[in-house]
Amino acid sequence: MRVRRNSIKMRTIICFAITLICVCILDTILSHNVEDELSTTHGFAHKFNVEQIYCYDDVQLPKPTVGLLYPRASETREVNSLDGVWELVRGNASDPLQGIREKWFGRSLRSTGREIIKVPVPASYNDLTVDQELRDHVGTVWYERHFFVPSSWNMSGTRTWIRFGSIHYACIAWINGQRAVKHSFGHLPFEVEIGRLVKYGQENRISIMVDNRLSNSTIPQGAVVNESSDNGSVAVQTFTFDFFNYAGIHRSVQLYTTPAKYIKDIELKTQVNKQMGRIDYRLWIGNEQEQDVSKYINVKLLDRDRNVVTHQLNRNYHNGTLLIPNVKPWWPYLMHPEPGYMYTLEFQLMAENGLLLDSYQLPVGIRSLNWDNDSIYINGQPIYLRGFGKHEDSDIRGKGLDNALLTRDFSLLKWVGANAYRTSHYPYSEESMEFADEHGIMIIDECASVNTDLFQPELLQNHMSYLEQLIHRDRNHASVIAWSIANEPRTQKPEAKDYFGKLANYTRSIAQGRPLTAASNVNKPIKCMMSAFLDIIGFNRYNSWYHNPGRTDMIINPMLEEALSWRQLHQKPVIVFEYGADTLEGYHSLPTFIWSEEYQTTMLSKHFQAFDKLRKLKWFIGEFVWNFADFKTEQTYTRVGGNKKGVFTRNRQPKYSAYLLRQRYHMLAYKLNNASLPTDLFNYIIDFGL
């Protein structure tokens, strides 16, 4: 009996082991197909259609960012720019981390024996040369330049910092061969104190490794696949977003100083009540010790002419309130005769003996922002958004900061009568945010989550961190009226519900008095697992282009029906974030034909009819054309030289439709806000009195 029982026990163990092995093999196969079998087209099509439900219980909330004030010179601070010509080396695509292993950061890039390319910073590196391999490079590149730090900065009580406006995407920076800082997200700033790393009054070297590869857990997502070519296996970056994947040092690199004890961070909240303005401020003091109580803050509010409007001496220097009688509120463009009014708020950190410890000035627009289930309100007035989806994109420079281009873009925005745009599909430069403040252009501020899929916990962690850094950066801008948490995520998937529920709940907890929105493109509103968590419903729809192409008689009713469906489902304000049609500059057709300038104009006009019917219902609050200007995309047979949906060309010249849109936007401002009409809005045709 004992032998038989042992035999049965052994067979049971063997069966259990075989079953376990089979389960593990099956799990490996399914896991491999879900996570790794990416299509060569976009990187998100799975061989097996297996639904994956994730658990987010272990996802950590991001640590709040403190610091990162935009560098501004003052009585106590100096700023030196490192913008200019740098040296670049393209890494080995088949061995992206070769430079780390061989410690390129510890010596001059010229000593590596690799080709040195002189490149401007800021700029994307892709289009700077005629080298196709550099344009399409996947993996790492290395930047280097030499610089001096003034001897005067090497004094007791002075701290030296380096700040990067944006690098795409992941990067590591070294100063004189010593690691200084690492950052993972594109489009956002980061900084580090480098006093211990630099040689004052001498030459220093900065080395930066930039990695443009995207994965399932990066923001945005992508996947690198190996494909066969005539020259062997090559790495190919796949993604589903419809814009070129530019990379490099895209915004300014700056050295700056602060005193030992300094104003580290500032948070502002503003309100307007009739003629009274209010600013609630909160300060963080760097290098503050608990026993340091012999300090106070001197606060001044200056108007546009630099006159002191009000001032305050506050011994509770961590927070306070300013009241501004007869305030000049911040208003959107064409909503008031003096839009975009900006004050300057000056903070002076003082020692008890009257010695100035630190000084920082911050532009501020004073306005109230509220919303309900029908609209958004600026200073108590409902707003109607007339705008665009845009891109940071230009010839040669790519996504690199270009103040000349910013000047042109904002001139065109005002010429066409727009009052808003969405930062599709990532945060724009800090300089552009200041332009928006000053011109009265409202911003839907969007994070870089575009076409989000495969809702893994690690992705949620990064998504939360990205939004936290974005909100921290832009919280003090009067122009920012909403946060967009994603563009066209795959929200028809069941796992999207829990993902976006947790993401929205977290983001709302740090939203700094702004509503949450996003752009959905599901074919039926009821299928969207995200929109129930939003404050403002936004959707993208291309009737007569991706849907029923060529049929301009199939626009009005579908648009009305879809907007009504969103409203009935959620009882929230509704915005159309994208609609449009590709248009080849100079191509004309009568009768209208797809891709012609006449077709784009007719398409816009039909949408205007639908929007006017929706406006009467009061809860429809905005129309955004896609796109402001033509922009570059990856190479595909559906894109001739890029995406051509712009009403302006890539070099910012108007297509035929821009004139119609200008008439639309200015007439809306005239009807809704009693704005004055430009004298050249309509060309003279005839005097019917003659």
Distance CA 348, CA 351 (A): 10
Number of H helices, E strands in the chain: 10, 32
- 25, exposed or middle or buried, with CB in 10 Å at 0-12, 13-18, 19+? exposed
Does residue 488 have an active-site annotation?
yes
Contact 259, 295 (CB under 8 A): no
CA-CA-CA-CA torsion for 404, 408, 410, 411, nearest 10 degrees? 140
Distance CA 300, CA 309 (A): 8
- Residue 90: closest CA among 210, 254, 9, 8: 210
Supply the DSSP symbol for 575. Answer: E
3-state secondary structure (DSSP) of residue 655: coil
* Dihedral angle sign, alpha carbons of residues 80, 163, 406, 669: negative
Contact residues for 353 (Cβ-Cβ < 8 A; gap 6+): none
3-state secondary structure (DSSP) of residue 141: strand
- Residue 550: closest CA among 608, 597, 595, 584: 595
* Dihedral angle sign, alpha carbons of residues 525, 448, 450, 122: positive
For 646, how many CA atoms within 13 A lie in the half-sphere containing its CB?
A: 26
Contact 414, 439 (CB under 8 A): yes
Place of tokens 């004094």: 155
Contact 431, 410 (CB under 8 A): no
In whole angstroms, what separates CA 620 from the centre of its chain? 25
Instruction: Give the number of other CB atoms < 10 A from CB of residue 155.
Output: 9
CA-CA-CA-CA torsion for 185, 191, 193, 195, nearest 10 degrees? 100
Radius of gyration of the chain from its Cα atoms, rounded to whole angstroms:
28
Distance CA 368, CA 366 (A): 7
Contact 430, 392 (CB under 8 A): no
The active-site residue out of 488, 578, 597, 623 is 488
What strand order describes the sheet that includes 276-286? 262-273, 276-286, 319-325
The H or E element spanning position 311 is strand 308-314
Contact 280, 269 (CB under 8 A): yes
- 386, exposed or middle or buried, with CB in 10 Å at 0-12, 13-18, 19+? buried
Token pair for residue 85? 């010509």
Burial 64-87 (b: 16+ CB within 10 A, else e): ebebbbbbeebebbbebebbeebb
Phi, psi of 455 (to 5 degrees): -80, 65
Instruction: Give the number of other CB atoms < 10 A from CB of residue 320.
Output: 18
Token pair for residue 408? 């042109």
- 381, exposed or middle or buried, with CB in 10 Å at 0-12, 13-18, 19+? middle
- Catalytic residue ranges: 488
